[in-house]
Structure 1
Amino acid sequence: MTTTPHSPSPSPAVQLTEHALAYLHSAALRAAALLGVADHLADGPRTAEELAAATGADAGHLRRALRLLATREVFREDTATGAFHLTPAADALRSDAPSSLRDAVVMLTDDPFWRPAGRLADTVRAGRTVFDDIFGAPYFAHLERVPEAGTVFDTGMAGLAESENDPIAAAYEFPATGTVVDVGGGRGGLLRQVLLRNPGLTGILYDQEPVLRHHTLDLPDLTGRWQTAPGDFFTAVPPGADIYLLKRILHDWNDADCLRILRACRTAMTRPGSRLLAIDAVLPQGNSPHPGKTMDVLMMTSLNGRERDEPAFHHLLTEAGLKPGRTLPTESTLSIVEGVVG
């Protein structure tokens, strides 16, 4: 919904209709990502006809989808020539862009998130996700038994994290020496940036074996400073490290499951001064927009998870036997909530 500084506010009817149809923006964005439209604009503007020929799409329909995206500053149409241009947002859809978000867009609009969102009313009534009703298994079990969905998730999470990892690594003063364990660290993007910024540290990437096969730690600057370890963070994590990272982990789970993860970490934290860094959105109070408030509903619809405010994080840390420390913002949508051995 676009208004100029001098235009009247939209009427309630217009406002609600726009909100009701907002899913079409997501659908158009997914179509552009799957068709690779942004890749075909990397060398300059092209018309819908040219883009259709390059992507195998229908020119008229493609133009209409891109025209909608242009109203949200994803692509820009030159009305004189009919050519579409990249915008900063559209540029991030290029598959070869630094910190490309193409895979993240595909993941966030894929069936495991899309279909449960359509049944949000059922979730709100029941107080639990209806994911199992739709797919016949909980979210992560579904990803295990449907490898294609698991691949979309793994590549999408890696893409989503790429723009976050270095700002997070820069926001915290890590010790000069010691060991960092990235618990549920996926392909290792955050651990990679932490090690690159802190040459005195070594690291352990801890996740399930199929995920670890696709790690991104094998860089010349990191030779001899990392290892992978497979396992289940609900039962145990590698012991004796100085720092334990939990990035976008706790928001996937309800409080009881979070405590299982945190207590496994606490048991492993045998070194004096060992610290745990819970890295997630920290929700602000009030009615102001925040990406975490959107992600919170996504977690509710598919995973029975939730985003949390600072008191909720402190409660979990305390219940797990850790002393809440600082909460540090980063130059991403995530913050670092510190837990220390008391």
Structure 2
Amino acid sequence: MVYGFWVSRCLQIMAELGIADTIGDVPKSVEELAKSCGTHAPSLRRMFRLLSGLGVLRKDEQSDCWGLTELGQMLRQDNPGSVYGSLRAHGHLLSWQAWGDLKTSLQTGLPSVEKFMGDSFFNYLSAHPEDAAIFNGSMAAYQTLNAPAVVNAYDFSQARTVVDVGGGTGTLISHVLKAHPAIHGTIFEMPHVTAEARPRIASMGLAERCDVVDGDFFASIPKGKDIYILSQILHDWDDEKSLRILENIRDAMRPDSRLLVVETVLPGDNAMHFGNLYDMAMLVLVGGQERTEAEYSALARRAGMKVSRILPTVMPPSVVELVPA
């Protein structure tokens, strides 16, 4: 645990330099790889030795070339479910600075990253398109695994209209639409995200079945849909801001509408759980939090809704179904 960040930093640099993509399916010498990514070959070899011991790389002793293991293949951008995007996002200097200043967040309850960004996390991204592209790429890669898990866990078959509130570039809604041809979808997102979502939805042949709408979920939500989805959204915000989002969705819902909150549900204390790590990330990066079932139920009540059921998925997040109270 003490030295864990040393390993993660090596993996982040592998992604930043595109080493796994350069290796591809054909093992290469460390000298060739060092030249292609602009590094010092003897130093790169030392990092490779570490990562080979962790099962990420494998050296062929006869050819002296380095190839990717099955685990290492997950570093490639073209691998479904690749961790490349996540490594790039969490390897960003601002993320490291935020974690390095964790004590400030513990003392104030505020995201330490704002000190280095000079603004809130999402305002910073809207003003820095290159950083936003890295972040959006990491979210899209995560949803590549998360989206089918949600579609398999929840029965959308009775719905005709589904709106993904804060739906990113459309990974989740596209899985819903492909699985259920009768559904018409909507992505509701900030303008700097919809600019990426529109061509992506068109490239998948879904432009006729999916509207991409600019908006702000703190202001208003498209009204009268069958199902609303908030996937990995509420954990970005504290209770008061989350309540505002939920109230706006409640105002938009019909009496028979459903809201699906796709989030990791914390099991409580004395449990080793992936969500506890992300809970700390939410603290230092955005000031949000992961929540327990009781905390989601309390938020739902305040917004005029109730938790009707919680459906686990094969991924860490569950589908928390909320209905009007």
Contact residue 235 and residue 263 of structure 2 kept, 8 A: yes
SS at structure 2 position matched to 1:218: helix
> What is aligned with 2:95?
113
Which SS does the other structure have where 1:232 is aligned? coil
Partner SS, residue 217 of structure 1: helix
Deviation of 1:26 (Å):
1.8
Aligned equivalents of 1:120, 1:71: Cα separation in 2: 30
Tell whether the 8 Å contact from 1:139 to 1:302 is kept in structure 2 after alignment: yes
Contact 1:207 1:229 survives alignment (8 Å):
yes
Q: Does 1:301 align with 2:284?
A: yes
Q: CA contact under 8 A between 1:182 and 1:204: conserved in structure 2?
A: yes
Q: 1:170-209 residue pairs with structure 2 within 5 A? A: 170-209=152-191
**Any unmatched runs of 5+ in structure 2?**
none
Tell me by how many angstroms 1:43 deviates.
2.1
Write the distance in 1 (CA, Å) between the matches of 2:70 and 2:292.
Answer: 31
Give the ranges of 4+ consecutive aligned residues of structure 1 lying more than 6 Å apart after TM superposition.
none
* 1:248 and 2:232 matched: yes
Residue matched to 1:4: none
Q: Distance in 1 between matches of 2:180 and 2:251?
A: 26
Structure 1 residues 177 and 302: alpha-carbon distance in aligned structure 2, compared to 1, 3 A threshold: closer
Q: Distance in 1 between matches of 2:134 and 2:5?
A: 20
Match of residue 314, structure 1, among 297, 309, 316: 297
Number of residue pairs aligned between Structure 1 and Structure 2: 323
SS in structure 1 of the partner of residue 221 of structure 2: coil
Tell me what 2:39 maps to.
57
Distance 2:222 2:14 in 1: 42
2:136 to 154, 176, 182: 154
Q: 1:75 aligns with which of 45, 54, 57?
A: 57
- 1:249 CA displacement: 0.2
Structure 2 length normalisation: TM-score? 0.93
Rounded to whole Å, the distance in 1 between the matches of 2:55 and 2:316 is 20
The CA distance in 2 between the partners of 1:89 and 1:110, in whole Å, is: 23
Q: Among residues 201, 221, 228, which one is paired with 1:217 in the alignment?
A: 201
Q: Which amino acid in structure 1 is aligned with residue 218 of structure 2?
A: F
* Partner SS, residue 88 of structure 1: coil
Correspondence for 2:311: 328
Residues 1:48 and 2:30 aligned together:
yes
- Structure-2 change in CA distance of 1:88 and 1:314 (3 Å): farther
**Partners of 2:126 and 2:192 within 8 A in 1:** no
**Structure 2 match to 1:274:** 257
Q: Distance in 2 between matches of 1:194 and 1:265?
A: 20
> What does residue 26 of structure 1 align with?
8
Does structure 2 conserve the Cα–Cα contact (< 8 Å) formed by 1:113 and 1:298?
A: no
The answer to whether structure 1 residue 263 and structure 2 residue 229 are counterparts is no
Range with greater deviation from structure 2 (73-82 or 47-56): 73-82
> RMSD over aligned Cα, in angstroms?
1.8
Amino acid at match of 2:148: D
Give the Cα separation in 1 of the matches to 2:173 and 2:239. 25
Per-residue CA deviation, residues 180-213 of structure 1 (Å, 9 max, x unaligned), is 0000001010000001111111111000112111
Tell me, which stretches of 5 or more residues in structure 1 are unaligned?
1-18
Q: Structure 1 residue 136 and structure 2 residue 118: aligned? A: yes
Partner of 1:125: 107
* Pair 1:177–1:339, CA change in 2 (3 A): closer
Q: Secondary structure at the match of 1:276?
A: strand
Q: Distance in 1 between matches of 2:204 and 2:94?
A: 37
Greater mean deviation of Cα atoms: 105-114 or 64-73: 64-73
